[in-house]
Chain A
Amino acid sequence: MGNESDARTPPPGDAPIDAPIDTPVDALAAALERRRRGDQDIVAVDVPGMQWVVFTLSGRAFAFPGAQVAEILPLPPVYFVPGCPPELEGVIAVRGSICSVLRLGDLLDSPHGPPTRRTAILRGRTADMESGLRVDAVEDVLEVAPEALLPPPGNLPERLQGLVTGVFEHRGQLVMALDMERLFRSWRDARL
């Protein structure tokens, strides 16, 4: 017991823990509030553009606006958090910050293939939400002309309706353009 390097072991018995406890419980609340404020300061540095991040799930091509993808990460260790819906895989460390990871394939009814060296995490960011999104592979980051973006087809699967904002062609494949804000809100409100 108590074999951690920076740890002190509470003593057995009814006596209070003898190590000095000079951190009031509220210090934790203050630290968390500082962290929340700090996170807000990071938002709103991206300029919306015509760039799209194209990726695949089960061989189907999707894309998010580049402005909604903060970075593309190779698959890091994902830490399980109990009590989460199965499509929330856990959390990852991103330069010391904690970021949730959603299994995007599970949300879009496109089951993930086994992890490969191409498996990636898109760190998605909207005005008030942020999360990692697991994808099978990132195919490209490209500019799409406005006239090349077509309205979503009427025969979309029910799960994709409301999430797909348009379609465009890339390398002979139809790419479904998604909106991160709608995706996050739908999942947050348990509508996915």
Chain B
Amino acid sequence: MTDIDLVLFRWNALRLGVAAGQVLAMESTPDPDAPSIGDLLGLPTGEGLPGVVTRAGPTRLLRLAHPAGALRVHVQEPVVQVRLPASAIQPLPPLLAARLRLPGVRALAWQQGEEPGALIVILDIGDLACEAQPAA
């Protein structure tokens, strides 16, 4: 079965990922005008796992392929590229899909051997509402 390349990153306690093909580059220079992935998802500051104290990691700037143009967005480290078996990636459970308010969520995945926090929320950047940004 096909393996899927993903780029994973964090936002507080959440593990998020996008298809590697949607990631154009990673930039090291912060841009105060670029939104964070938390902003795009509408997550309140400090959103994390209930009852779990989290500390925000250093941020990186990803340049992502969006239908409206390149989108530069801050994410938290670690930023890594992984190859997961397709069997580890699953559609949203139907009831969750029906009531989920988080935009751009495409699938969920388990990363083997990663406990706790092994759940990865896979995003489709194209579904996130945003404005194209000028290239840096």
Instruction: Verify if A41 is at the interface (C-beta below 8 Å from B).
Output: no
A17-25, A108-116, A145-153 - interface stretch: A17-25
Contact A25 to B22, CB < 8 A, known contacts A7-B82, A91-B93, A190-B99: yes
Interface size on B, residues (CB 8 A): 62
Contact A2 to B79, CB < 8 A, known contacts A23-B5, A100-B96: yes
| Alpha-carbon gap, A17 to B83, bound state (A) | 14
| Alpha-carbon gap, A88 to B95, bound state (A) | 9
Interface size on A, residues (CB 8 A): 57
Is there an interface contact between A10 and B7, defined as CB atoms closer than 8 Å?
Answer: yes
Contact with B along A79-116 (1 / 0, CB 8 A): 11111110010010100111110100000000000000
Is there an interface contact between B90 and A97, defined as CB atoms closer than 8 Å?
Answer: yes
| Alpha-carbon gap, A14 to B105, bound state (A) | 26
Is there an interface contact between A6 and B83, defined as CB atoms closer than 8 Å?
Answer: yes
Q: How far is the CB of A7 from chain B (nearest CB, A)?
A: 4
Could you say which of A9, A23, A28 contacts B80, with CB atoms under 8 Å apart? A9
Q: Find chain A residues with CB under 8 A from B118 CB.
A: 79
Instruction: Verify if A32 is at the interface (C-beta below 8 Å from B).
Output: yes
Contact A22 to B81, CB < 8 A, known contacts A97-B90, A188-B95: no
Q: Find chain A residues with CB under 8 A from B28 CB.
A: 12-13
Is there an interface contact between A7 and B5, defined as CB atoms closer than 8 Å?
Answer: no
Is there an interface contact between B26 and A188, defined as CB atoms closer than 8 Å?
Answer: no
Is there an interface contact between B25 and A28, defined as CB atoms closer than 8 Å?
Answer: no
Is there an interface contact between B116 and A4, defined as CB atoms closer than 8 Å?
Answer: no
Q: How far is the CB of A101 from chain B (nearest CB, A)?
A: 9
List the A residue with the shortest CB-CB distance to B22: A25
Is there an interface contact between A4 and B114, defined as CB atoms closer than 8 Å?
Answer: yes
Q: Which of B20, B100, B117 has the most CB of A within 10 A?
A: B20
Contact A23 to B3, CB < 8 A, known contacts A93-B110, A188-B95: yes
Contact A100 to B86, CB < 8 A, known contacts A9-B79, A9-B81: no
Q: Which residues of A contact B (CB under 8 A)?
A: 1-17, 19, 21-25, 27-28, 30-32, 34-36, 77, 79-85, 88, 91, 93, 96-100, 102, 128-131, 184, 187-190
Q: Which residues of B contact A (CB under 8 A)?
A: 1-5, 7-8, 14, 19-28, 41-43, 47, 49-50, 60, 63, 77-83, 86-91, 93-96, 98-102, 105-108, 110, 113-114, 116-119, 121-122, 136
Knowing that A11-B26, A84-B99, A129-B94 are A-B contacts, what are 8 other residue pairs whose CB atoms are under 8 Å apart, sorted by A's residue number? A3-B78, A8-B80, A32-B91, A83-B105, A84-B100, A98-B110, A100-B96, A184-B95
